[in-house]
Amino acid sequence: MAEQLIGAIEAGGTKFVVALARADGTVLARERIPTETPATCFPALAAFFGQASAAHGPIAAFGVASFGPIDIDPASPGYGTFTTTPKPGWSGARFHDVLGRFGAPIVVDTDVNGAALGEWQAGAGQGCRTLAYTTVGTGVGTGVLRDGKSLMGFSHFESGHIPVPHDRTADPYAGFCPYHHDCLEGLAAGPAIKGRWGQSLSELGSPSDKVELIAGYVAQLAVSLVLLHMPDRLIFGGGVMKTPGLIPALRKATEARLAGYIKAPQLDPGLERYIVGPGLGDDAGITGAIALGRQALG
Ligand code: ZN
């Protein structure tokens, strides 16, 4: 039997990482494509997979881990379609329109669900039955897995938009979310940090008072994830989380807010094993997309 090849797409807000891989995860070809608009991005995607397939063999399945909001309900007629994304040109674009020509099954999930899956299979989430992966970067989002399967309701979760306590005396910044202003994303994502202080936390030299302010907001999400999902571990990735000292500050703020209420072996004193950075670094997304493609193989 011919080897089954997977087409994998990690669709990010600024770039797509695309790969052709074997089912065991070995990458045979890989490229970056600027996100720009579907009019430029989709033909480049088709060209990449066409050339990679010509060189290595037919594609048996596609796995897509994408920015959103996007329809990830396999039972929906609009499965794989971008919905209310503010990104120009992307609302209404559908992955099936460009990948359908290859005649292979397509699994579409969110970027954070994909990264969670990658970390669960090969990174910092190995061995966890329930795992939450959160990114704090240009935006904030969380994927929650149970036994390697991503959870959703009528749509994917939107953890970035939870309300958080906002002391306007300590932090007069109004927040940048066009819908809620000072939701978690509006106060703690990369654009909020630049909007408030003009530079990233790392560029500012990671001053402890500013790091603690952001950690306090993110800790509201960490505590909510514990209370709602009781994950075995929380992984925090994304550009903002690379700030030196932010993860330790997040552990401290989360532990303080949990206030000893939850007693479980998973919640180690200091939360050093409980709240961690990604094990795969920036490769979590494409690793997850390959894993989604493996799900499509059935
Ligand atoms: Zn919001």
Distance of CA 131 to the CA centre of its chain: 13
Question: Which domains are assigned to the chain?
Answer: 5-113+282-297 (3.30.420.40), 127-277 (3.30.420.40)
* pLDDT at residue 14 in the model: 85
- pTM as predicted: 0.93
Say if strands 149-150 and 140-146 run parallel, antiparallel, or are unpaired. antiparallel
Query: What is the band of 2 on the pLDDT scale with cuts at 50, 70, 90?
Result: low
From the CA atom positions of the chain, what is the Rg in Å?
19
pLDDT, tens digit (0-9, with 9 covering 90-100), for 273-296: 999 999 998 888 999 999 999 999
Q: How far is the CA of 140 from the centre of ligand 1 (A)?
A: 10
Average pLDDT over all residues of the chain: 95
Number of other residues whose CB lies within 10 A of the CB of residue 37: 13
User: Residue 86: is its pLDDT beyond 80?
Assistant: no
Q: What separation in Å is there between the alpha carbon of 158 and the centre of ligand 1?
A: 9
> Is 114's pLDDT higher than 60?
yes
In this predicted structure, what is the pLDDT of residue 257? 98
Mean pLDDT to the nearest integer, 5-9? 98
Q: What is the pLDDT of residue 3?
A: 79
Q: How far apart are CA 143 and CA 148, in angstroms?
A: 11
- pLDDT tens, 19-43? 999 999 999 999 999 999 999 999 9
Around ion ligand 1, residues with a beta carbon closer than 5 Å are: 161, 177, 179-180, 183
